[in-house]
Structure 1
Amino acid sequence: MLAQVFSVANQKGGTGKTTLSMNLAAGLSKRARTLIIDADPQGSAGQWAGLSPDERPFPVAVISIASNLPREIKRMREDYRYLVVDCPPTLETGVAQAAMTVSDKVLIPVLPSPVDLWASVRLAEAIEQVKIYNEALQPYILVNQLEPRNAMSRGMQQALDEFNIPALENGLRRRAIYRSSALEGSSVYCMGKRGEPAAQEIDALIEEILKS
């Protein structure tokens, strides 16, 4: 069976794209063989994994691919069950679009404000162009850094309803453990009891995207 390919993309920086990629891959790796493809020239995913101690390496291998991304992804689909592509925070290079041409789903992390969602309009337009070549591509908005005690604002909910890309029911809350795990080159799954609430929400997210 060929691997499912999940691209994580947003042309706006600071939305938690790499945090989502790394923890999504860590959760998927508990189910089957998974690989992270670092398609961002900044190399954030590789740097994250590189911080892990030798005695406790990051649970998923990270490889960097700078060119011929669709060809390389197609080649690796036979060796893994899941591929997670951490796309660069720009549309100018065409790398994100190239990844999406061979992806099953694209996850778009956005911060919980209408302004941040509107900043993703160009990405939504790019996805429509990609669908000319990959009709089966399924895009989803993922609301990131939700405040634990605050419900999503009415303005944000209205903006989501008006956006032409569906939002996942499961979002990610603002949790210090995500930053802590990054500093340790780890995932929330390896952070003991402190990481359990975050791991549970990643698991819920995975269940939703695998069933969608």
Structure 2
Amino acid sequence: MSKIITIAHQKGGVGKSTLALNLAYSFAKNVNTILTDIDPQGSTIQLQGLIPDVTIIPFSNNIYDQNFEALFIDTPPYLMNEMLPIFLKSDLVIIPTKAGVPDIMAIRSTVELVKEAQKSNKKLKAAIVLNMVKPRASITEQAKEQLIEYDLPIIGEIKDRVAYTNTFLTGGVLTSSDENAKEEVRKLTSEILELL
């Protein structure tokens, strides 16, 4: 059965595209995977034809009719009119956030839109991923305490590693020599599968 996973956060710079690409790479090892991007800047779409294993195609209303087992939708750094219909079609919305107060506060609108979509799409699940985490554990724990108010599971923890940006065109971190980064993506992939 096909699954639609949307990566969304209204704030830019939280690593949505890098996370979407690495998860698409991870899923593509086992299932037919498509990655699309609704951001008008289209940074992910520019990788079309340049990366192995993952089909990247522009977003359109008939994308849901494509042959896929996993569809990842990368979104822009703001909430646009198309977001609610996309959430209504999704099985899971992943909200990546940095462990800083402005980033955590900024997810409120995204969470509210997810909860609005869940009124109509009862199967829609959502989760928060701490992304680009700096190596100070106390900040991470404080962030988790602040995120409790959103009443969503916190899955995975992706550290701020060079491997994530260095492997954008070469198969994601799973092809890198950074074993810690590989384990982070594997763990997050496993947690996503459990939610689905």
TM-score w.r.t. structure 1 length?
Answer: 0.84
User: How many pairs were matched up?
Assistant: 195
- Secondary structure at 2:158 match in 1: coil
One-letter amino acid matched to 2:147: L
Partner of 1:80: 68
* Among 157, 168, 174, the residue aligned to 1:189: 174
Distance 1:123 1:43 in 2: 20
Written as runs of structure 1 = structure 2, the 5 A alignment for 1:192-203 is 193=177, 195-203=178-186
Please state how far the C-alpha of 1:203 moved relative to its aligned partner: 0.9
Write the letter of the residue equivalent to 1:59: D
- The answer to whether residue 56 in structure 2 is matched with residue 62 in structure 1 is yes
2:113 to 94, 110, 126: 126
Percentage of identical aligned residues:
31
Change (3 A) 1:46 1:186: farther
TM-score by length of 2: 0.91
Distance 1:126 1:196, change over 3 A: same
Aligned mate of 1:207, from 190, 193, 196:
190
Q: Is the 8 A contact 2:95 2:127 kept in 1?
A: yes
Per-residue CA deviation, residues 174-196 of structure 1 (Å, 9 max, x unaligned), is 101111123x46411233x2x43
Shift in Å, 1:103: 0.6
Deviations 1:105-124 (A, max 9, x none): 00000001232111111111
Structure with more of its chain in strand, by fraction: 2
**What amino acid sits opposite 1:130 in the alignment?**
A
Could you say which residue in structure 2 is the equivalent of 1:5?
Answer: 4
Gaps of 5+ in 1: none
Moved more, 39-48 or 20-29: 39-48
